[in-house]
Amino acid sequence: MWEEQKMRQWLQQHLPAGRYAHCEGTAETAVALAARVGVDKYKAHLAGLLHDAAKSLSLAEMRHYAEGEPLLDTMLWNSRNLLHAPASSGLCRRLFAVDDEGILAAIRWHTTGRVGMTLLERIVFLADAMEPTRNYRGVEEIRKAAQDSIESGMLASYRETFCFLLESGQPIHPAGIVARNAILEELRPTKGEPLP
Ligand SMILES: [Fe+2]
Ligand SMILES: [Fe+2]
């Protein structure tokens, strides 16, 4: 794997300053969350720092790096907003030579989430949504919910994201819907019982 300093330099050269600051913020918040739940802080730091590595690439460049990453569908393949996650994971694997599958998966799934997310994946998902430079409607609710648990914070984040997508007439990727349902089920007091 590249030296961290070299990866930081690459990020600074390939991301606008605000996006780079968001990556630093995500790394910092991911470390704080990792400390809370006993996850490896360095992995959380690295996954947070690198999660948006491909964010500013063109669609063609994203497709190049995303090739071979798990579960790509037409909707992902045609959206820079969605494709940047598998593209960032592919870029970290192929360019930076990151070989930790846990870190790569946390990067891969940071936009939609997935059913059965690891703690590291959950941490990066939530840190991305609520790191200190984030400043969108509803972010305070996410930060507040995250004080209860990572899963509560994630649910709040899904709520804000889905509301935004519905209100702005955009599609919702099905992976996000099933991932959110899975977290909702985990938090349900009568887990496994029939729904109302
Ligand atoms: Fe992202
Ligand atoms: Fe991000």
pLDDT digits (tens, 9 = 90+) for 12-37: 999 999 999 999 999 999 999 999 99
Q: What is the CA(52)–ligand 2 centre distance, in A?
A: 5
Q: What is the CA(177)–ligand 1 centre distance, in A?
A: 17
Q: What is the CA(85)–ligand 1 centre distance, in A?
A: 6
Q: What is the CA(46)–ligand 1 centre distance, in A?
A: 14
How confident is the model at residue 26, as a pLDDT? Answer: 98
Long-range interactions of 113-116: CB distance < 8 A, separation 24+? 113/154, 113/158, 113/175, 113/176, 113/179, 113/180, 113/183, 114/175, 114/178, 114/179, 115/178, 115/179, 115/182, 116/182
Long-range interactions of 57-62: CB distance < 8 A, separation 24+? 57/14, 57/84, 57/87, 57/91, 59/83, 61/87, 62/87
Of the bound ligands, which one is closest to the alpha carbon of residue 85? 1
Distance CA 152, CA 142 (A): 8
Q: What is the CA(118)–ligand 1 centre distance, in A?
A: 18
How confident is the model at residue 103, as a pLDDT? Answer: 98
Q: What is the CA(110)–ligand 1 centre distance, in A?
A: 6
How confident is the model at residue 191, as a pLDDT? Answer: 79
Distance CA 173, CA 184 (A): 17
How confident is the model at residue 190, as a pLDDT? Answer: 82
Q: What is the CA(88)–ligand 1 centre distance, in A?
A: 9
Q: Which residues of the chain have pLDDT under 50?
A: none
Q: What is the CA(165)–ligand 2 centre distance, in A?
A: 17
Q: What residue segments make up the domains of the chain, in order of their start?
A: 4-187
- Read off the DSSP letter of residue 112: T
Identify the CA nearest to 62 among candidates 29, 94, 38: 94
How confident is the model at residue 196, as a pLDDT? Answer: 73
How confident is the model at residue 189, as a pLDDT? Answer: 85
Q: Domain 4-187, CATH 3.40.50.1220 — does that match?
A: no
